[in-house]
Amino acid sequence: MSVSELKYPKNRLRRTRQAKWIRNLTQESMLSSNDLVWPVFVCEGNNIKDEIQSMPNVYRYSIDNLNEVYDIASEHKINLIAIFPFTPQELKTKYGDEALNPDNLVCRSLEKLKSHKSDFGIMCDVALDPYTDHGHDGLLSDEGKILNDETNGVLVKQSILLAEHGADIIAPSDMMDGRIGKIRDELEKNKFVDTLILSYAAKYSSSMYAPFRDAVGSSKNLKTDKKTYQMNILNSDEAIREASMDIAEGADMIMVKPGISYLDIIYRIKNELKYPTFAYQVSGEYSLIKFGSQQDIINEETMVIEQLSSFKRAGADAIITYYAPEVSKFLKLID
């Protein structure tokens, strides 16, 4: 039977839409709280829960307040949280030295969260942008070039440090060439055979990261764009090459980022490579929905469910979203 043979009225497609029970039975994809990853920002200080101005209802937590994060993640059955640090400006340097400080914010957060038994995993970004005074993910030469191989050397050390502090997933988000293989080799050498690597393989040079750069305090430092390492927004085949190389080098899972404008990339990677594929609904996507709904331009709940459902339809296995704790309340809409 080919699509061209379908004919009305023998085929009335509305038959399978006439009532909720039959819509449920013929639904092709599923969205559940099982699919969600929650990004969390951490900062220095005591008893701090600061709302991020450009991301309403998203907070920076001081480490002593991470109990609240633990409780929210447990209550909403979130499977994975991702930690991002707001490094104090005075600790940012040309070489991002703080990334390798065993007492930095991320290492202390890991210690705190891992001190309780939990049902969720913890993922940590590997990249230098929260730690460099120029806001780039890699080492910057005096001539303004991002140095690939020199950066890889630091990323490998950063990965081992995070694994030593209990990170379950190492997530290189820096887009240097060859870093996955180098990180995987060093993890194996150090007997971290179970540490997962989620590679931000197809990460585009997008304007959608602006609120995140505020959240980690890198936007005012960043003077140039990231186009020499993040992907050209007009490319698609290149995403397949990126993801294939990272899988060959030892990545367990692949990330596509941003999300909603890149559903074609999620679809291709999932279908062509058949590997676990994650989508990141990034900060700009979050804030546009949040502010749009605050202005009563759109309905937040239905919009969030529609976008997250679209990720699933495109083939994403999991979704990183700042909405993760709120989504369990919205999910009744598709029950």
Catalytically annotated residues = 203, 257
How far apart (Å, rounded) are the C-alpha atoms in residues 94 and 96?
Answer: 6
Residue whose CB is nearest to ligand PBG in the complex, by number:
212
Beta-bridged to residue 320, according to DSSP, are 37, 280
CB of 137 to ligand PBG, least distance (A): 5
# residues near ligand PBG by CB under 6 A: 11
Alpha-carbon Rg of the chain, whole angstroms?
21
Beta-bridged to residue 231, according to DSSP, are 204
Q: Is 282 in the site for ligand PBG (CB under 6 A)?
A: yes
How far apart (Å, rounded) are the C-alpha atoms in residues 68 and 61?
Answer: 9
Q: Considering beta carbons, is residue 133 or 334 the nearer one to ligand PBG?
A: 133
CB of 134 to ligand PBG, least distance (A): 12
Q: Is 137 in the site for ligand PBG (CB under 6 A)?
A: yes
SS3 22: helix
Q: Considering beta carbons, is residue 213 or 270 the nearer one to ligand PBG?
A: 213
Q: Is 132 in the site for ligand PBG (CB under 6 A)?
A: no
CB of 24 to ligand PBG, least distance (A): 32
Q: How far apart are the first and last CA of the chain?
A: 32
Instruction: Give the residue, chosen from 87, 283, 287, 307, that forms a contact with ligand PBG under the rule CB under 6 A.
Output: 283
Stretch that binds ligand PBG, among 16-24, 104-112, 124-132, 237-245 (CB under 6 A): 124-132
Give the count of beta carbons closer than 10 Å to the beta carbon of residue 57: 13
Q: Is 129 in the site for ligand PBG (CB under 6 A)?
A: yes
- Rounded to 5°, the CA angle 62-289-73 comes to 40
- Report the candidate in 58, 57, 62, 27 with the shortest Cα–Cα distance to residue 42: 62
Q: Is 239 in the site for ligand PBG (CB under 6 A)?
A: no
Task: State both tokens at 197.
Answer: 């690597």
Task: State both tokens at 123.
Answer: 């993922």
Instruction: Give the residue, chosen from 209, 275, 311, 323, that forms a contact with ligand PBG under the rule CB under 6 A.
Output: 209
CB of 172 to ligand PBG, least distance (A): 9
Q: Is 173 in the site for ligand PBG (CB under 6 A)?
A: yes
Give the count of beta carbons closer than 10 Å to the beta carbon of residue 245: 16
* 115 to 109, 169, 222, 252, 263: CA distances (angstroms): 10, 17, 35, 26, 38
Q: Is 125 in the site for ligand PBG (CB under 6 A)?
A: yes
Q: Is 212 in the site for ligand PBG (CB under 6 A)?
A: yes
CB of 43 to ligand PBG, least distance (A): 16
Binding site for ligand PBG (CB under 6 A): 125, 127, 129, 137, 173-174, 209, 212-213, 282-283
